[in-house]
């Protein structure tokens, strides 16, 4: 019997009650069959340094990779099929550049999605109606330097970049330049 995994449920790898399990994950590789990562899926995996995402990922639940203190690399960035993200990488020191979404497809980013994360640059493709809705999306992300938003316009809430990197810039690239 072969099983196909399409959804990792709440706290699948967080190991909240099992410190040995929680501290034993160094790398998490998600097969392309996975489309959904539910709330707290890998929250607090303190030794995980690498995360390889499914190329068919559509949704990352709240706090999925938050407080992953050793997480440095996320590949292959967030896939073009991706559309929903909520508080997913807060308090994780990921340092690589992140790309999100696909031109012409909506992207939902709410709450404290990248709050106090280590991302330095981000490129957002797709229709992003707002940054920071319901929280401080990039607040406390002191390493943040640049974000490119393809297709704008978007609304940016007052606390979206509170205490983020000094001189952090948001660049809007008109949709006409996407040809």
Calpha distance 179→176 (Å, rounded): 6
How far apart are the C-alpha atoms of 40 and 88, rounded to whole Å? Answer: 8
Check residue 20 and report its DSSP letter.
Answer: H
The tens place of each residue's pLDDT in the chain, 179 residues long, gives 455 666 666 666 655 444 444 557 788 888 888 888 888 888 888 888 888 888 888 888 888 888 888 888 887 666 666 667 777 788 888 777 777 766 667 777 777 888 888 888 888 877 777 777 777 888 888 888 888 888 765 778 778 888 887 878 888 877 654 44
With CA atoms as reference, report the closest residue to 145 among 126, 115, 109, 171.
Answer: 171
Nearest partner of 65 among 105, 98, 102, 103, judged by Cα: 98
User: Which of 66, 68, 60 is closest to 23 using CA atoms?
Assistant: 68
CA distance 39 to 59: 10
What is the value of pTM for the model shown? 0.71
- Is it true that the peptide bond before 83 is cis, omega within 30 degrees of 0? no
Q: What is the pLDDT of residue 17?
A: 47
């Amino acid at each position: 019997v072969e099983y196909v995994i399409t959804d990792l449920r709440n706290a699948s790898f967080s190991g909240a009650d099992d410190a040995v399990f929680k501290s034993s994950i160094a790398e998490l590789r998600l097969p392309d069959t996975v489309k959904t990562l539910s709330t707290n899926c890998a929250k607090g995996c303190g030794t995980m340094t690498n995360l390889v995402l499914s190329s068919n990922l559509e949704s990352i639940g709240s706090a999925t990779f938050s407080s992953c203190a050793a997480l440095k690399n996320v590949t292959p960035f967030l896939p073009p099929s991706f559309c929903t993200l909520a508080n997913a990488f807060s308090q994780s020191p990921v340092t690589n550049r992140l790309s999100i979404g696909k031109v012409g497809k909506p992207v939902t980013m709410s709450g404290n999605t990248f709050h106090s994360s280590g991302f330095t640059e981000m490129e957002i493709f797709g229709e992003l109606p707002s940054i920071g809705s319901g929280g401080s999306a990039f607040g406390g992300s002191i390493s943040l330097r640049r974000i490119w938003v393809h297709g704008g316009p978007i609304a940016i809430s007052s606390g979206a970049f509170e205490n983020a990197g000094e001189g952090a810039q948001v660049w809007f690239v008109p949709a006409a330049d996407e040809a």
